[in-house]
């Protein structure tokens, strides 16, 4: 992972939330929030991004559950806070690898599609374990292989075809680059978790048109930095090429593709 892979600023948060939130993240946010049904206590969310999971948690959990939502990128949190007015949610900028909280201060830690961005996965997991109270749960999700995620795979291939001499690799390298179940289990146990449950969850992603995921991926993720680093004048052109490729594969109207992720529950 490069430093650019972690850069979510400028117009990226709004585009990310508008085009990729409902399309990719909401289906798994509902799944993860459902796994916390009946939860009581203090909840920490790391890598909250634009708050897709935060909103699902605030809606699904009792009002008495205190939610602290954190992210490394302040612009992402600023956007998230504008989308949700909930007194039980506190927003705080924080690095998941060096959390600014006392040990044993939360009853659960959740992280949706953030662990792939941790430069040191066991260290990030160890921090989650440190802030958990005895018996607490660490719930998180990571994307499966890009080949098992139909629309992202087409986007990845289309952008690579636009730059055949130096194909951008962000999607395969980072969001879909941490998918080996044995490695995930090993990293969690290295961090001190003794019981790990992992489920591969296949869902569907739906968008109103091929343009939506093209906009979301090409302009609303760090893939944008890779395109602009090769030729900043081609951002709109490449976005259009991706939309055309998606239309050829999935049709011109609303599109639908399979998505796959691993959902993990770890306890000590």
pLDDT (tens digit per residue) in 8-29: 657 788 898 999 999 999 999 9
Question: For residue 203, is pLDDT > 60?
Answer: yes
pLDDT confidence of residue 6:
47
- pLDDT higher than 70, residue 200: yes
- Per-residue pLDDT reduced to its tens digit, 111-128: 999 999 999 999 999 999
For residue 153 the two structure tokens come to 């795979």
Which of 8-17, 28-37, 194-203 is the least confident region? 8-17
Residue 5 pLDDT > 50: no
Residue 36 lies in a domain: yes
65 within some domain: yes
What's the average model confidence in pLDDT over 41-67?
A: 96
Strands 255-267, 195-207: parallel, antiparallel or unpaired by DSSP? antiparallel
Range of the domain at 105: 3-146+175-207+258-267
Examine residue 50 and state whether it is found in any structural domain, yes or no.
yes
Residue 104 has pLDDT above 70, yes or no: yes
Q: How many CA atoms lie within 13 A of 38 on its CB side?
A: 1
Tell me whether residue 165 is in a domain: no
pLDDT of 208 strictly over 60 = yes
pLDDT class for 258, splitting at 50, 70, 90?
A: very high
Residues 42-70: what's their mean pLDDT? 96
**DSSP secondary structure code for residue 217 in this structure:** H
Count how many domains the chain has: 1
Q: What is the DSSP letter of 85?
A: -
State the DSSP string of 9-41: -TTHHHHIIIIIIIIIIHHHHHHHHHTTTT--S
The reported pLDDT for the residue numbered 268 is 86
Among the ranges given (2-6, 64-68, 156-160), the one the predictor scored with the smallest mean pLDDT: 2-6
Nearest-10 crossing angle of helices 211-220, 235-250: 140
Predicted local confidence at residue 2, as pLDDT: 54
Of 74, 89, 86, 30, residue with least CA distance to 56:
30
- Report helix, strand or coil for 242: helix
pLDDT in tens, 152-190: 999 999 999 999 999 999 999 999 999 999 999 999 999
The answer to whether residue 4 scores a pLDDT higher than 60 is: no
In angstroms, the CA 254 to CA 91 distance is 34
Task: Answer for the pair 98, 127: CB distance below 8 angstroms, yes or no.
Answer: yes
Query: Which letter does DSSP use for residue 245 in this model?
Result: H
Q: What is the pTM of this model?
A: 0.94
Question: Residue 209: which residues within 8 A CB-CB, separation 6 or more?
Answer: 243, 252, 253, 254, 255
Residue 157 falls inside a structural domain? no
Q: Kindly state the average pLDDT of the residues 56-66.
A: 95
Q: Is residue 202 one of the residues assigned to a domain?
A: yes
Asked whether residue 153 is assigned to any structural domain, the reply reads: no
Q: What is the CATH number of the domain that holds 74?
A: 3.40.50.150
């Amino acid at each position: 992972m490069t430093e650019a892979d972690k850069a979510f600023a400028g117009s990226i948060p709004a585009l990310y939330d508008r085009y990729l939130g409902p399309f990719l993240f909401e289906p798994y946010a509902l799944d993860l929030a459902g796994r916390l049904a009946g939860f009581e206590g203090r909840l920490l969310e790391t890598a909250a991004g634009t708050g897709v999971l935060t909103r699902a948690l605030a809606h699904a959990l009792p009002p008495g559950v205190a939610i602290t939502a954190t992210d490394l990128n302040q612009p992402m949190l600023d956007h998230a806070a504008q989308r949700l007015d909930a007194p039980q949610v506190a927003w705080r900028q924080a690095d998941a690898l060096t959390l600014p909280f006392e040990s044993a201060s939360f009853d659960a830690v959740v992280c949706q599609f953030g662990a792939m961005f941790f430069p040191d996965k066991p260290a990030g997991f160890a921090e989650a374990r440190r802030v958990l109270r005895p018996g607490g749960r660490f719930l998180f999700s990571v994307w499966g292989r890009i080949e098992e995620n139909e629309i992202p795979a087409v986007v990845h291939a289309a952008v690579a075809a636009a730059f055949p001499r130096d194909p951008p690799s962000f999607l395969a390298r980072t969001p879909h680059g941490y998918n080996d179940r044995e490695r995930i289990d090993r990293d969690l146990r290295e961090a001190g978790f003794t019981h790990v449950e992992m489920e591969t969850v296949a869902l569907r992603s739906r968008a109103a048109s091929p343009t939506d995921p093209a906009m979301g991926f090409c302009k609303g993720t760090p893939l944008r930095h890779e395109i602009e680093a090769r030729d900043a004048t081609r951002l709109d052109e490449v976005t259009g090429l991706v939309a055309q490729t998606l239309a050829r594969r999935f049709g011109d109207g609303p599109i639908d593709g399979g998505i796959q992720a691993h959902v993990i529950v770890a306890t000590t």
